[in-house]
């Protein structure tokens, strides 16, 4: 059944590992054609093949010290252009009509900012015309054009964002994010083989999971889906029968678990400004200085200092920002009259996320108990409405995740000779 | 001295081997900046890096049986986009302003035909504006856009053609084609180390040399230069002092040699239709049928057949067309009542080209004598005003070139312990 101009639209997104070679590209072509044959007007957003973006980044790194700006985007944008043309060739070979579109041809208009532009508007006329003419449309992820017609790129997770934004602009029925795993899991199956696939997850849980280090979907894409109330699905390229994980506004109340997912983030650094004078404006000075350098801060804790009338202020930053943070803090220390700065990069942030924990007391206690049972010391705790994070020693991070998973998903660990999931690559 | 909007324009073209890696890209950037610093508004046309186009061709070959059309062009066009952005990054790193432009941004409008489109018009406004704003402009070779805004490619030698067409459209002072040899040689220096660099060559000699197999410049680019009377120069990326070879309308009369260049083409196949009835329309039938299949024919010879009242018609085609040619000829044979078809792919076409041979008798005799001295049998001869070609056995092609070179350039062979040119890669 071929779609017509009244048929619903589906947007599909395929990541770089799904199009890494000719055989994988043909598989992606089959998935897309299969959707078209079910009567959907079909749009697929494709990332750059395999490691090709890394190769372009490396080339730029050999040509200049700080790659950026218009030309860096012009370079990086070519990776996705290769993919969409390649998938189009494969679909045409199957006897279907496919057309590839780059950011300009697909009408994806962004801010004038380079390297991490946001999408402002998608002018869908060209795209819709091709869909209505019976074409399968393949759109480059990660890129758009600015007001001058120059290519821009969207930064990390850009292709997910492109797919969700197109889903909204085309008023499509659904956005399917295809990956080489079955969906979103209760935790990383490479760390805990007993991890359970989640059937439904709310946008807000998904965003929190992404923020605490689960490599699931980019928070910006999830936020865009939440704002547009877009049906977003993460599913597998190797099992089309599996419905994957669906992101929705509110998860139905009959879900058993207070905790939806457990994540571990090893790319954090902990700083403490010790012996800060106890007067107004100190925290504002510290975090204002960090914000001025574009350093994002997480897990802020203030506690009484050893010396009377002083406070210790501790927090975490991404480890790539650690060097800059230390430079900023050394300057701030003298300005505010603090005693010392300490830092620790040998840390792991272990978090549990779940909308269900709002109404249920004792979840935090269960998490701390699980860590105690594994003999793991907690260095810092931070909580939000639907999230609890603990800092632990870096080499205990995975043990922490396993212990916590066993505590909150005991049925998955009922027998210890459980089969390891056949395919993870989470 | 920085150029201004009254400064002359120079167009430079760099082939794939000149930008094969980051170090070579930096060298190209230095050559371009050097020209800019001399006060020229500078445009550089860049080919795809190294073997990257071959990689894209191979990818397409793994995705479909007969790659072609819009998507194949969209795929191939990415190679040059990588190069121009990379060179722009390298130039920006040197503190100069560079901007890369793809076929669309540079306003290169072509026929709607894919894979071998011809340039119809170049809308230079965007390019000129950037030149006048002090930018060095880097333009993708080999590509343009059609009336729908889809990328097209120009076929073999496309980047040379892009550069010459831009030179004309911009009314530039000169077009410099940079390669890894010093210019055009009297013959392939890999075959004859004593080959001499040619300082000046006429367009018409250059076109003939290209057509008989010298891998110098694409005939289409030379023809375009001839039509526009464009100063075209082939020169070296590794010795900027060397002025290279200049192509001009007429070479001054004081050139000594009747013969300008000697070429050898091993990619030809010879066919003969034997025993054709001697009546009008036979040749038209044979060559019309081949033309209908887009097969180009060279070196046509008609001679008397063995049986009275018959002719033998022999000719050569490119070896990639040999299979199709045989299929066409088998059908034609029965239609015209010819006796048999013979073919030979083990041949080499050796040619001499020179505007000076027009007025000088005995050049052909000298060539045949040179072949006789090497003990080489001639299978077929064809002549034009400024060219003589002989078919010989394939494994004697290089010996033939050496013998002929010694005959026409005896001074280059004056001593046999001559130094081999330090760098050839012709």
pLDDT digits (tens, 9 = 90+) for A4-47: 999 999 999 999 999 999 999 999 999 999 999 999 999 999 99
pLDDT tens digits, one per residue of A71-83: 999 999 999 999 9
**Within-domain flag for B234:** no
Helix axes A69-93, A22-37, angle to 10 degrees: 70
Give the pair of three-digit tokens for residue A302. 């203030």
**Phi, psi values for residue B384, rounded to 5°:** -130, -175
Closest chain A CA to residue B89: A71
The two tokens of residue B157 are: 């030698």
The whole-number pLDDT of residue B24 equals 96
B315 close to B342: Cβ distance less than 8 angstroms = no
Residue B107 lies in a domain: yes
pLDDT of residue B252: 66
Average pLDDT over chain A reads: 91
Question: In the structure, what pLDDT confidence band is assigned to residue A211 with cuts at 50, 70 and 90?
Answer: confident
Q: How far is B62 from chain A (nearest CA, A)?
A: 6
Confidence of residue B421 (pLDDT cuts 50, 70, 90): very low
Give pLDDT, residue B415. 65
Number of H helices, E strands in chain B: 11, 20
Residue numbers in B near A98 (CB within 8 A): 71
In chain A, whose CA is at the least distance from the CA of B88? Answer: A71
A148, pLDDT greater than 90 = yes
Q: pLDDT for A337-352, tens place per residue?
A: 999 999 999 999 999 9
What CATH number has the domain bearing residue A264? 3.30.2130.10
* Domains: count for chain A: 2
pLDDT at B176 over 90: yes
Q: Answer whether A104 sits within 8 Å of B100, measured CB to CB.
A: no
Residue B129 lies in a domain: yes
Residues A171, A264, single domain; the answer is no
Best interface-test mutation with B: which of A24, A25, A82 has the largest number of B CBs within 10 A? A82
Stretch A297-301: mean pLDDT: 86
Question: What pLDDT, on a 0 to 100 scale, did the predictor assign at position B320?
Answer: 86
DSSP string, A349-371: EEEEE-GGGSS-TTHHHHHHHHH
pLDDT digits (tens, 9 = 90+) for A268-288: 999 999 999 988 888 888 999
Q: Kindly state whether residue A191 falls inside one of the protein's structural domains.
A: no
Q: Which of A131, A158, A179 is the last residue of a domain?
A: A179
Predicted TM-score (pTM) of the model is: 0.84
Q: State the Cα–Cα distance between residues A44 and A51, nearest whole angstrom.
A: 20
Which of A75, A89, A99 is closest, CB to CB, to B86?
Answer: A75
Distance CA A326, CA A79 (A): 36
Q: What's the gap in Å between the CA of B82 and the closest CA on chain A?
A: 5
The parent domain of residue A405 ranges over: 254-426
- Under DSSP, the state recorded for A250 is S
Residue B380 lies in a domain: no
Q: Residue B193: pLDDT above 80?
A: yes
Last residue of a domain, one of A179, A214, A235: A179
| pLDDT for the residue A257 | 77
Pairing of strands B41-46, B9-14: parallel
Contact residues of A toward B, CB < 8 A: 22, 25-26, 56, 59-60, 62-65, 67, 69-72, 74-75, 77-78, 81-82, 84-86, 88-90, 92-93, 98-100, 104-105, 149
- Please report whether residue A49 resides in a domain: yes
CA angle, A153 then A159 then A160, to 5°: 135
Would you state the structure tokens that stand for residue B180, as one six-digit string?
Answer: 């890894």
Is residue A326 within a helix (H) or strand (E), and if so which, with residue range? helix A322-336
- Which of B44, B64, B107, B135 is the mutation pick for testing A, counting most A CBs within 10 A? B64
Assigned domain for A247 exists = no
Q: Which residue of A has its CA nearest to B66?
A: A93
Select, from the ranges A337-341, A361-365, B210-214, B291-295, the one with the highest average predicted confidence (pLDDT): A337-341
DSSP per-residue letters across A330-347? HHHHHHHT--EEEEE-SE
Residue A236 lies in a domain: no
Q: A161 and A271 share a domain?
A: no
pLDDT at B362: 85
Domain end residue (candidates: A179, A205, A230): A179
Q: For the domain that residue B161 is a member of, what is the CATH number?
A: 3.40.1160.10
Distance from CA of A388 to the nearest CA of B (A): 44
């Amino acid at each position: 059944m071929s779609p017509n101009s009244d048929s619903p639209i589906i947007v599909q997104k395929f990541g770089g590992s799904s199009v890494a070679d000719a055989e994988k590209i043909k598989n992606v072509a089959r998935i897309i054609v299969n959707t078209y044959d079910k009567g959907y007007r079909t749009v697929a957003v494709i990332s750059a093949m395999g490691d090709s973006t890394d190769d372009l980044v490396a080339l730029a790194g050999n040509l200049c010290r700080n790659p950026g700006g218009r030309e860096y985007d012009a370079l990086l944008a070519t990776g996705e252009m290769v993919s969409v043309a390649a998938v189009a060739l494969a679909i045409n070979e199957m006897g279907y009509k496919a057309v590839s579109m780059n950011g300009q041809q697909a009408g994806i208009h962004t801010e004038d900012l380079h390297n991490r532009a946001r999408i402002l508007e998608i002018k869908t006329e060209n795209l819709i015309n091709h869909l209505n003419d019976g074409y399968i449309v393949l759109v480059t992820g990660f890129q758009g054009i600015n007001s001058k017609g120059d290519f821009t790129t969207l930064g990390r997770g850009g292709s997910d964002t492109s797919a969700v934004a197109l889903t909204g602009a085309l008023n499509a029925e659904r956005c399917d994010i295809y990956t080489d795993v079955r969906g979103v899991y209760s935790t990383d199956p490479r760390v805990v083989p007993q991890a359970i696939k989640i059937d439904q997850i709310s946008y807000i849980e998904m965003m929190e999971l992404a923020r605490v280090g689960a490599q699931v979907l980019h928070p910006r894409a999830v936020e865009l889906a939440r704002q547009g109330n877009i049906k977003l699905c993460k599913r597998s390229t190797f099992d089309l029968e599996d419905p994957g994980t669906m992101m929705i506004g509110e998860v139905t109340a009959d879900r058993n678990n207070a905790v939806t997912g457990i994540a571990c983030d090893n790319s954090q650094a902990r700083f403490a400004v010790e012996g800060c004078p106890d007067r107004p404006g100190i925290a504002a000075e510290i975090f204002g200085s960090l914000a001025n350098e574009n350093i994002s801060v997480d897990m802020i804790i203030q506690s009484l200092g050893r010396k009377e009338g002083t406070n210790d202020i501790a927090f975490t930053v991404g480890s790539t920002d650690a060097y800059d943070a230390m430079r900023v803090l050394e300057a701030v220390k003298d300005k505010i009259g603090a005693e010392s700065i300490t830092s620790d990069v040998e840390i792991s942030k272990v978090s549990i996320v779940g909308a269900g924990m709002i109404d249920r007391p004792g979840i935090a206690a269960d998490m701390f108990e699980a860590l105690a049972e594994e003999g793991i010391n907690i260095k810092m705790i931070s909580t939000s409405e639907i999230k609890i994070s603990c800092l632990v020693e870096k080499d205990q991070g995975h043990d922490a995740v396993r212990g916590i998973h066993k505590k909150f998903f005991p049925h998955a660990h009922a027998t210890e000779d459980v089969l390891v999931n056949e395919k993870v690559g989470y």
